[in-house]
């Protein structure tokens, strides 16, 4: 009898392990950034699809008015797109290591009405973990390389590279719905508050 009780207890404990992060989801977020005295805000829509237990692919769109938007001197409107593919091997039952390779493009409209394009290839890596059934945290480091149009002289471009660190977390108020906050530590220190549906 004692052996049966011990076996049932062990089975219950093993079944209580926290599941790993979900890789199929869509979300909508409010984006804001530090841009001095002028407001910087907008929205973002993203999605990801997980497959074959260890792969995922995703895409996103954002529309952000920096420093008051293109109607203000020094302001700009930015529309951004990205696509990526990555791997997410499990380090433990509740922690995945994430490595992504992707492409992003941004079209910026400045106060003069001039439109400037930039394109980058980026890599991103770091851990993503479920610390409980309801709380997720992640930390990524991303590196980007590409080119961006110059304001002057028109028709020229320059090489562009950047480094960013992203810290984030989410609270799952149901098994499929969560509220999250990501903070990207770079020149503009961007914060993204989002609602996500996961499968």
> Stretch 135-156: mean pLDDT, rounded?
93
Q: Looking up tokens 């996500």, which residue turns up? A: 196
Which domains are present in the chain? 2-198 (2.40.160)
Give all strands (DSSP E) within 10-156, no chain letters.
25-33, 41-51, 55-66, 76-87, 95-110, 115-130, 135-149
Do the strands 115-130 and 25-33 form a parallel or antiparallel pair, or are they unpaired?
unpaired
> What are the backbone dihedrals phi and psi of residue 70, each rounded to the nearest 5 degrees, phi first?
-70, -10
Tens digit of pLDDT for each residue in 171-180? 999 999 999 9
Confidence at 4, pLDDT banded by 50, 70, 90: very low
Q: Looking up tokens 């692919």, which residue turns up? A: 57
3-state secondary structure of 2: helix
Residue 39 has pLDDT above 50, yes or no: yes
Choose the weakest-confidence range: 6-10, 39-43, 144-148, 160-164. 6-10
Tens digit of pLDDT for each residue in 70-105? 888 878 999 999 999 999 999 999 999 999 999 999
């Amino acid at each position: 009898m004692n052996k049966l009780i011990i076996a049932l207890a062990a089975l219950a404990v093993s079944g209580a392990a926290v599941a790993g992060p979900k890789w199929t989801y869509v979300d909508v977020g409010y984006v804001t950034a530090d841009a001095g005295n002028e407001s910087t805000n907008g929205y973002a829509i993203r999605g990801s699809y997980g497959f074959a237990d260890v792969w995922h692919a995703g895409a996103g769109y954002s529309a952000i008015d920096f420093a008051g938007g293109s109607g203000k001197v020094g302001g700009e409107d930015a529309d951004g797109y990205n696509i990526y593919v990555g791997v997410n091997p499990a380090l433990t039952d509740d922690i995945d290591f994430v490595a992504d390779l992707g492409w992003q493009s941004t079209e910026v409209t400045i106060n003069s009405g001039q439109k400037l394009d930039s394109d980058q290839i980026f890599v991103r890596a770091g851990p993503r973990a479920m610390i409980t059934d309801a709380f997720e945290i992640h930390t990524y480091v991303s590196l980007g390389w590409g080119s961006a149009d110059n304001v002057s002289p028109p028709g020229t471009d320059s090489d562009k590279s950047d480094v960013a660190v992203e810290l984030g977390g989410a609270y799952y108020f149901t098994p499929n719905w969560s509220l999250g906050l990501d903070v990207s530590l770079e020149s503009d220190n961007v914060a993204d508050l989002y609602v996500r549906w996961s499968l």
